[in-house]
């Protein structure tokens, strides 16, 4: 009797379940549309000619696809008095972001390893201070940092910007690696010590090989932060060392006369492509790395 | 020959909390020392101090006659097996075992030779190319042992190596460790909270509580002559019966009187001991209380007791009763006639009896 009533109630609710599922998909679809709308407008606008933009509809597809705006944005658009497009600034950003990401990730890994596995006196205080560093609003440090860079002779240079990004990334990278390494049993370190391995040997042979998920998380995070940074880029650079975000701003804001929306859109997409690329390539590790903490040993 | 391990007046504190107080232990080459005690007694900390993984607050420690008090773990000539096995997760079994040699710069051919030897010894050859994640608990345990064995150190340290295994495997590995110890003739220090492991493996046991050594002795000394109430209660399963009693010295020995709730007191005569205080705690192992009809021994004295509970355990049957206000367990023959709620004639054997002071808890005889 109980069996029958059980199956009956199950099949009775099956229709309800399907309805629920479809409602869910519908909602998700609507949300996705909502979020994708700006991207859609950006992409379509970038492939339109200025004439078409002026006469056409904002959300319509381009009648005639043209890459002219992309070409202009890449190599001809004017950022103030120079008209070289975003290309030189794009490479500036690459030169800033890659070393800064690598250095801050490596130092963060070492910091996290020390704080989690080689507990020294005051390790907790040290970590708390590092954490505090994550929450300092960057506007506060602009003047002292400008002074520091000046004293170090790195004002307005790309190494100077790398330095700034490494320093302000360390709080987060240390936090990521510390939280990952803290879940690794301390017996692993002990066993390696008894086996005769030293500080760097243990880090290199045992901890780094375990760290792929958290390295991916940190690299994505740092790359996004540094590539998208505008404040440091605009404050600590000079003509010739500006990152792509600053160039984008200049292209959009320094044009006179008719606004070349298609060029603006193309430049914006170019500036956003690398972060998009990193997410597509490493995105699945990102989620995995955030959720996977413990190591099954 | 100098003792292989000697610890003198060792103290260990974390801040103001004392973890280990005045530890003095020495073992000879080939000894199997077991540190046993309830959790939090400091036994693992002591092992970490021996390994050099925890600095010592005060005292001296020498291994193989050399002062090792402030020496790095890697230079102590020790190998350690951990409770969680602590295998390096990204390395294969072979790499796990040879990691120590690789770090020390041992040449490849010696590494291969030793790896092969140890793998044969522990029967883990088919596993050498696997990662620790692909091994079962027992296999990981073996690999961890292999990593220690391959080093051929002066001293082996084991930190509760069997407590993550299931009961059956634990007994198997216990026997294997004992056989290994016998075959290698190596010196070992072994931490466990399992008193049966301690009894079966050790040549010497250290019983600890609250960072203080309670007793050091051979398994038989610890079992038959516990130094105090804690050791008496901790070692042995079921635990030693500790019954409050009154004594009276008479000509030939001591008359012991145990009060009962129902019926008159039980009186036993101990001819081997004398000059005991009036109030004592009588320590009798469950196996020294037997079914009077089934056991014949010289020291036995019979008394009728009311049995409260009968617990058959296969090879033995345990009978629980109330004596002197305490639950008392008797280890009876499996074919006992004991029935819960009925009287049974029991034989008390006082040949190995212990007496403890009720206030001090110390052994009196």
CATH number, domain with residue B149: 3.40.50.300
Between CA B336 and CA B118 the distance in angstroms is 49
- A19 Rama sector, left if φ>0, alpha if ψ -120 to 50, beta otherwise: alpha
- Subunit contact A190:B74, Cβ cutoff 8 A: no
Is A190 within 8 Å of chain B by CB?
Answer: yes
Q: B284 and B266, same structural domain?
A: yes
Q: Which residue of A has its CA nearest to B54?
A: A190
Which stretches of chain B are DSSP H helices?
A: 43-51, 93-103, 108-122, 137-149, 167-184, 195-201, 219-224, 229-234
Question: Residue B203 sits in which domain range?
Answer: 5-234
Closest partner residue to B104 among A187, A196, A205, by Cβ? A196
Q: B121 and B87, same structural domain?
A: yes
Q: Domain count for chain B, please give it.
A: 2
Give contacts of B85 with chain A, Cβ < 8 Å. 297
- B226 Rama sector, left if φ>0, alpha if ψ -120 to 50, beta otherwise: beta
Residue A297 pLDDT grade (very low, low, confident, very high; cuts 50, 70, 90): very low
CA angle, corner A69, sides to A65 and A74, nearest 5? 130
Q: Choose one of B184, B201, B234: the last residue of a domain.
A: B234
Is A205 within 8 Å of chain B by CB?
Answer: yes
* pLDDT tens by residue, B159-201: 999 988 888 989 999 999 999 999 999 999 999 999 999 999 9
Between CA B155 and CA B176 the distance in angstroms is 18
* pLDDT tens by residue, B214-239: 999 999 999 999 999 999 999 988 99
Cβ-Cβ contacts under 8 Å for A296 (sequence gap 6 or more): B89, B133
| Cross-strand partners of B270 | B254
- Subunit contact B73:A295, Cβ cutoff 8 A: no
What local confidence, expressed as pLDDT, does residue A294 receive? Answer: 38
- Subunit contact B82:A190, Cβ cutoff 8 A: yes
User: How large is the ipTM?
Assistant: 0.84
* pLDDT tens by residue, B295-309: 666 667 888 888 999
Is A119 within 8 Å of chain B by CB?
Answer: no
Give contacts of B97 with chain A, Cβ < 8 Å. none
Q: Choose one of B234, B252, B276: the last residue of a domain.
A: B234
Q: Choose one of B171, B199, B234: the last residue of a domain.
A: B234
- Subunit contact A185:B100, Cβ cutoff 8 A: no
What local confidence, expressed as pLDDT, does residue A96 receive? Answer: 95
Q: How many CB atoms lie within 10 A of CB A21?
A: 10
- Subunit contact B84:A185, Cβ cutoff 8 A: yes
What is chain A's length?
Answer: 297
Give contacts of B73 with chain A, Cβ < 8 Å. 190, 193-194
CATH number of the domain located at residue range(s) A88-291 in this protein: 1.10.3720.10
Most confident of the ranges A8-12, A46-50, A77-81, A197-201:
A197-201
Between CA A68 and CA A65 the distance in angstroms is 9
Q: B184 and B169, same structural domain?
A: yes
Give contacts of A188 with chain B, Cβ < 8 Å. 86, 88-89
* pLDDT tens by residue, A251-262: 888 777 778 888
What local confidence, expressed as pLDDT, does residue A160 receive? Answer: 94
- B61 Rama sector, left if φ>0, alpha if ψ -120 to 50, beta otherwise: beta
Q: B326 and B221, same structural domain?
A: no
| Cross-strand partners of B63 | B5, B66
What local confidence, expressed as pLDDT, does residue B298 receive? Answer: 66
Nearest CA among B316, B313, B325, B321 for reference residue B358: B325
For residue B363, being part of any structural domain is answered with no
Report pTM: 0.81
- Subunit contact A194:B103, Cβ cutoff 8 A: no
* pLDDT tens by residue, B22-76: 999 999 999 999 999 999 899 999 999 999 999 999 999 999 999 999 999 999 9
For residue B329, being part of any structural domain is answered with yes
Distance from CA of A166 to the nearest CA of B (A): 29
Closest partner residue to A297 among B78, B84, B99, by Cβ? B84
């Amino acid at each position: 009797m109980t069996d029958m009533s059980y199956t009956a109630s199950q099949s009775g609710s099956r229709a309800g379940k399907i309805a629920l599922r479809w409602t869910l998909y519908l909602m998700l679809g609507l949300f996705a549309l909502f979020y994708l709308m700006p991207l859609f407008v950006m992409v379509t606008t970038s492939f339109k000619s200025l004439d078409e933009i002026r006469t056409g509809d904002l959300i319509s597809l381009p009648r005639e696809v043209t890459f002219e705006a992309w070409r202009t944005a890449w190599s001809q658009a004017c950022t103030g008095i120079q008209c070289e497009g975003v290309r030189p600034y794009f490479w500036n950003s690459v030169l800033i972001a890659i070393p800064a990401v690598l250095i801050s990730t490596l130092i963060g890994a070492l910091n996290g390893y020390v704080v989690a596995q080689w507990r020294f006196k005051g390790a907790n205080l040290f970590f708390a201070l590092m954490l505090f560093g994550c929450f300092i609003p960057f506007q506060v440090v602009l003047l002292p940092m400008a002074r520091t860079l000046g004293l170090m002779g790195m004002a307005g240079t790309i190494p100077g910007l790398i330095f700034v990004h490494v320093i302000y990334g360390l709080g987060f990278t240390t936090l990521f690696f510390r939280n990952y390494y803290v879940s690794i049993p301390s017996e692993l370190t002990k066993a390696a010590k008894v086996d005769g391995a030293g500080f760097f040997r243990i880090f290199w042979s045992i901890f780094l090989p375990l760290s792929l998920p958290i390295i991916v998380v940190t690299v994505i995070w740092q790359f996004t932060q540094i590539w998208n940074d505008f404040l440091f880029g605009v404050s600590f650079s000079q003509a010739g060392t500006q990152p792509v975000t600053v160039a984008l701003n200049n292209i959009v804001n320094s044009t006179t006369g008719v606004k070349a929306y298609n060029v603006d859109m193309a430049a914006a997409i170019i500036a956003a492509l690398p972060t998009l690329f990193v997410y597509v390539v490493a995105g699945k590790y990102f989620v995995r790395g955030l959720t996977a903490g413990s190591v099954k040993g | 020959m100098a003792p292989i391990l000697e610890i003198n007046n060792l103290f260990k504190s974390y801040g103001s909390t004392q973890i280990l107080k005045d530890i003095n232990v020495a073992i000879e080459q080939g000894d199997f020392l077991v540190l046993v005690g309830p959790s939090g007694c400091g036994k693992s900390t002591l092992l970490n101090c021996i390994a050099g993984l925890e600095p010592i607050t005060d005292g001296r420690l020498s291994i193989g006659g050399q002062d090792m008090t402030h020496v790095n773990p890697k230079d102590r000539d020790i190998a350690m097996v951990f409770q969680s096995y602590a295998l390096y997760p990204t390395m294969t079994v072979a790499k796990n075992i040879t990691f120590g040699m690789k770090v020390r710069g041992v040449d490849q051919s010696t590494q291969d030779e030793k790896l092969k030897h140890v793998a044969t010894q522990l029967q883990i050859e088919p596993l050498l190319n696997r990662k620790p994640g692909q091994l079962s608990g027992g296999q990981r345990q073996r690999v961890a042992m292999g990593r220690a064995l391959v080093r051929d150190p002066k001293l082996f340290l084991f930190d509760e190596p069997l407590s993550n295994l299931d009961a059956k495997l634990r007994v198997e590995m216990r026997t294997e460790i004992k056989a290994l110890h016998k075959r290698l003739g190596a010196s070992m220090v072994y931490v466990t909270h399992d008193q049966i492991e301690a009894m079966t493996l050790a040549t010497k046991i250290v019983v600890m509580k609250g960072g203080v050594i309670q007793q050091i002795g051979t398994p038989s000394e610890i079992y038959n002559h516990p130094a105090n109430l804690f050791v008496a209660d901790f070692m042995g399963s079921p635990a030693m019966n500790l019954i409050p009693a009154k004594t009276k010295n008479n000509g030939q020995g001591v008359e012991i009187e145990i009060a009962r709730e129902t019926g008159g007191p039980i009186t036993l005569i101990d001819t081997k001991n004398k000059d005991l205080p009036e109030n004592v705690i009588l320590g009798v192992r469950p196996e020294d209380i037997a079914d009077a009809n089934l056991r014949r021994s010289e020291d036995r004295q019979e008394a009728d007791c009311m049995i409260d509970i009968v617990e058959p355990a296969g090879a033995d049957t345990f009978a629980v009763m109330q004596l002197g206000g305490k639950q008392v367990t008797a280890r009876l023959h499996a074919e006992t006639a004991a029935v819960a709620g009925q009287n049974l004639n029991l034989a008390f054997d006082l040949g190995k009896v212990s007496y403890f002071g009720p206030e001090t808890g110390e052994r009196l005889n």
